[in-house]
Amino acid sequence: MGFHDLDLTERLLIARRGTAFFAQRLTEFTDSQLNSDTLLRGWTRKHLLAHLGYNAVALCRLLDWAATGVETPMYQSAEHRDNEITDGAMLSAAALRNLFDHTVARLDQKWRHLPPMSWEAGVRTAQGRVVPAAETVWMRTREVWIHAVDLDSGAQFGDFPSVVLESLLSDIVAAWRRNGRGAGLVLEVTGAAPVHVDGVARTGTVQGALAAVVRWAAGRGAVDVTLRGRDPQPPRWL
Ligand code: ZN
């Protein structure tokens, strides 16, 4: 059972739980600790907060697009998105905490008011894929749960609901396949059928519990996984 098999209400609940999980980690940092590095190279916690704030705004644009039919892309360009984060990271800690809270509320309000018909309306992700507006719930869910770990707050993949872990793994494998990466790689998750990334002969195996394999596949480190026949770096995902 994956995230997409759940009712919309349940999916929204998991997104909101992820937001609360992230927000809770945030309350544990002092303002000056927001200047510290995250687990993402070159990004401080302030960069991450700016990114999540502007990501919510970008998802609001997709929901406006779905509601009105007037095309409003997530971001004008990749460069614009990056500049927004760089500039945002220079804001004060108070301003960034505010940005996070405010944009979370705005996104939630858009979800609550989206007309039932509009959830299936097609919108385009930053990677250029056309998806139904309902996909914004999953897009946000991924962001808040994974970035809570990136904050270097002690949060772990093992804290995620298992349905999130399972859907993350499907997403990552689908992205590898779409982009022709990970040929010959087999993922062996404890208690599940092995996942062959593509049909060619096996060149490497990654084995472990679901949370550890997802962590590795998402590029967040090879911890508690057994790697055979391949280097520790996973294929690129996003
Ligand atoms: Zn992100």
- For 100-151, what is the HEC assignment? HHHHHHHHHHHHHHCCHHHHHCEEECCCCCEEECCHHHHHHHHHHHHHHHHC
SS3 43: coil
Q: How far is the CA of 203 from the centre of ligand 1 (A)?
A: 30
> Is 54 within 8 Å of 39 (Cβ atoms)?
no
SS3 30: coil
Look at residue 11 in the predicted model and tell me its pLDDT: 98
Q: How far is the CA of 232 from the centre of ligand 1 (A)?
A: 22
Average pLDDT over residues 79-97: 97
Percent of the chain's residues with pLDDT above 90? 89
SS3 19: helix
Look at residue 232 in the predicted model and tell me its pLDDT: 78
Query: Does position 76 have pLDDT exceeding 80, yes or no?
Result: yes
Banded pLDDT at 199 (limits 50, 70, 90): confident
Q: How far is the CA of 74 from the centre of ligand 1 (A)?
A: 13
**What average pLDDT does the chain have?**
95
Tell me the C-alpha to C-alpha distance, in Å, between residue 62 and each of 82, 120, 143: 19, 12, 16
Query: Does position 198 have pLDDT exceeding 90, yes or no?
Result: no
Across the chain, where does the E strand assignment appear? 122-124, 130-132, 185-189, 195-196, 204-208, 225-228
Q: How far is the CA of 173 from the centre of ligand 1 (A)?
A: 18
pLDDT in tens, 90-101: 999 999 999 999
Reference 47, options 121, 152, 145; nearest CA is 152
Look at residue 30 in the predicted model and tell me its pLDDT: 98
Q: How far is the CA of 41 from the centre of ligand 1 (A)?
A: 13
What is the set of domains in the chain, with CATH numbers? 3-155 (1.20.120.450), 159-228 (3.30.1050.20)
Q: How far is the CA of 109 from the centre of ligand 1 (A)?
A: 21
Q: How far is the CA of 200 from the centre of ligand 1 (A)?
A: 32
Percent of the chain's residues with pLDDT above 70? 100
HSE-CB for 95 with a 13 A CA cutoff: 9
Reference 237, options 178, 194, 191, 161; nearest CA is 178
Average pLDDT over residues 66-70: 96
Tell me the C-alpha to C-alpha distance, in Å, between residue 201 and each of 10, 170, 181, 229: 39, 20, 14, 12
Q: How far is the CA of 43 from the centre of ligand 1 (A)?
A: 11
